[in-house]
Amino acid sequence: MEVTSEETTKMCTHCERSIPSSNIDLHFAHCSRNLEKCKICGDMIPRKHAEEHFVNTHAPISCSLCSEMMERDILAVHKGENCPQRIVTCEFCEFPLPAIDLAEHQEVCGNRTELCHLCNRYIRLRERYNHESRCNGMLDQTAGPSR
């Protein structure tokens, strides 16, 4: 059985919530005395916890890897995708190193060579996948030492 309320409501001018008209005066007195609207996110926060809310939710935070200051809500994305000190893996040797050092490392690491067992030629690691897809397996008897 559904109960319908015929009671009218009024908008609290402090928290902007719809309050039953019979309770609006009591609600407004309590609301305006004990709650404040966060200037950043608009949430209603108990006055005694307003500073804590700001510090835990909105205050800039330092990345533990690179020390860059940023808003707390972008820290996870920064650490996972943008931080120059996040650990990434070399595609050639799978060595973990800071992202800022990856390009220089892979420039050297990708120039290392390995012997292709299909054609008996030394192939640069950076060219290995391309080579493997088109290598016809013809043995090259003249393969010399790695350059």
User: pLDDT for 98-113, tens place per residue?
Assistant: 999 999 999 999 999 9
Domain boundaries, the chain: 25-59, 60-84, 90-133
Neighbouring C-beta atoms of residue 2, cutoff 10 Å: 3
Rounded Cα–Cα distance for residues 109 and 93 (Å): 7
Beta carbons within 8 Å of 30's beta carbon, 6+ residues apart: none
pLDDT of residue 118: 87
User: If DSSP codes are grouped into helix, strand and coil, which group holds residue 143?
Assistant: coil
The CATH class that applies to domain 90-133 reads alpha beta
pLDDT of residue 2: 47
pLDDT of residue 4: 47
Rounded Cα–Cα distance for residues 135 and 128 (Å): 10
The H-or-E segment that residue 115 falls in is: strand 113-115
Rounded Cα–Cα distance for residues 104 and 18 (Å): 61
Q: Return the structure tokens found at 12.
A: 């609290």
Residue 143 in contact with residue 122, Cβ under 8 Å?
Answer: yes
pLDDT of residue 95: 97
Task: Give average pLDDT by consecutive 10-residue segment, the chain, 147 residues.
Answer: 64 90 90 91 92 90 95 92 97 96 96 91 92 77 50
pLDDT of residue 72: 87
